Amino acid sequence: MTAPQPPGSSPQRGAYGGWPPGSYPPPDGSLPVDGRSPRAGGRKAGWRMLAVFGVAEATFLLVSLFVLVPFALADPKVAEDGPLPPMALLAALAVPTTLAALVALGATQLLGSGSRLGRLHRELSVRWSWRDVGFGLVLGGIGLVLTIPASALWAAWVGTDQANSAVGEAFDGQRLGPVTAVTLFLVVWLIAPMCEEILFRGALWRAFEHWRLNRWLIFVVTTLLFSVAHLELLRTPLLIVVSLPIGLARVLTGNLLSSIVAHQANNLLPAIGLLLMTLGVDPG
């Protein structure tokens, strides 16, 4: 138990400038800044973190255009009939997401609340914890168990072609060299989930925390926005099911690292399927 503080003094600071050890995160899901009360960030801090998310998303969209447009201009048939060359597809998948996450990290360090030292840890709620990593793995595994039958039911309802992911459709029929195929596998399994989590359950989540919204409301809103942001209208209900365990990892641990691990665990089987398909390996 933490020793009582003298009247008028700030609470004892924890390892990440927040609540005292053993009391992180607060029950309502809000986070303090520099050991002060949860209100220390305030609405202005929330708007700044929302701006971080907005700038990162704008970066994603602009970079996507800059990656794809040159190929369309160089060969009009590609724009009309497709598909894009494999390296262009890989670049379109990896580069915009990675740059958007880097912009979010830089903008958080620039605009986030509190002292600059350790700001990324506080604002994005990242801390190392084997327990939270394990919790993320468990929920990611549960997500896989739920996703497989959910995907089968969704495909039976809307049709297999309509149920396929945009990434799966883009690389369908493509044959890649081993290095390119393994790079694609790593992007889908590790890099893309980490970058998406930094944006949605990092910057966006923190903006809502600064506004002192209930953590379960934040969970619902970010889950919906994450699913819609994939711009796959027919797959949105399925994406909601997929993202529920990922969001639970974030809301139950208060640790972005846990949701990153859960997302990566959830993407493992799709990444393996993509690797086998692009290498021309028949799993049957």
If one compares 26 and 153, the residue with the highest pLDDT of the two is 153
The model's confidence at residue 205, banded by pLDDT at 50, 70 and 90, is very high
Q: Tens of pLDDT along 152-183?
A: 787 777 666 665 677 877 788 888 999 999 99
Q: How far is CA 31 from CA 58, 111, 198, in A?
A: 27, 17, 17
pLDDT at 262: 97
The model's confidence at residue 253, banded by pLDDT at 50, 70 and 90, is very high
Token pair in block for residue 241: 């099911």
Report d(CA 129, CA 172) in Å as an integer. 38
Closest CA to 107 of 91, 96, 123: 123
- At residue 36, does pLDDT exceed 90? no
Report d(CA 162, CA 269) in Å as an integer. 19
pLDDT at 280: 86
Which helix (H) or strand (E) covers residue 228, if one does? helix 215-228
**Whole-number percent of the chain with pLDDT over 90:** 53
The model's confidence at residue 86, banded by pLDDT at 50, 70 and 90, is confident
pLDDT at 18: 37
pLDDT at 106: 97
pLDDT at 107: 97
Q: At 129, is the secondary structure helix, strand, or coil?
A: coil
Q: What is the largest CA-CA distance in the chain?
A: 73
If one compares 27 and 142, the residue with the highest pLDDT of the two is 142
Burial of 20 (0-12, 13-18, 19+ CB in 10 A): middle
Report d(CA 153, CA 167) in Å as an integer. 20
- At residue 251, does pLDDT exceed 90? yes
- Please compute the mean of the pLDDT values over residues 205-223 and round it to a whole number: 96
Min mean pLDDT across 5-19, 156-170, 267-281 is at 5-19
- Contacts of residue 274, Cβ cutoff 8 Å, sequence gap at least 6: 167, 168, 171, 184, 185, 188
Mean pLDDT rounded to a whole number for the chain: 81
- At residue 74, does pLDDT exceed 50? yes
pLDDT at 37: 33
The model's confidence at residue 67, banded by pLDDT at 50, 70 and 90, is confident
Q: Tens of pLDDT along 110-156?
A: 999 888 888 999 999 999 999 999 999 999 999 888 887 877 787 77
Cis amide leading into 21 (omega within 30): no
- At residue 12, does pLDDT exceed 50? no
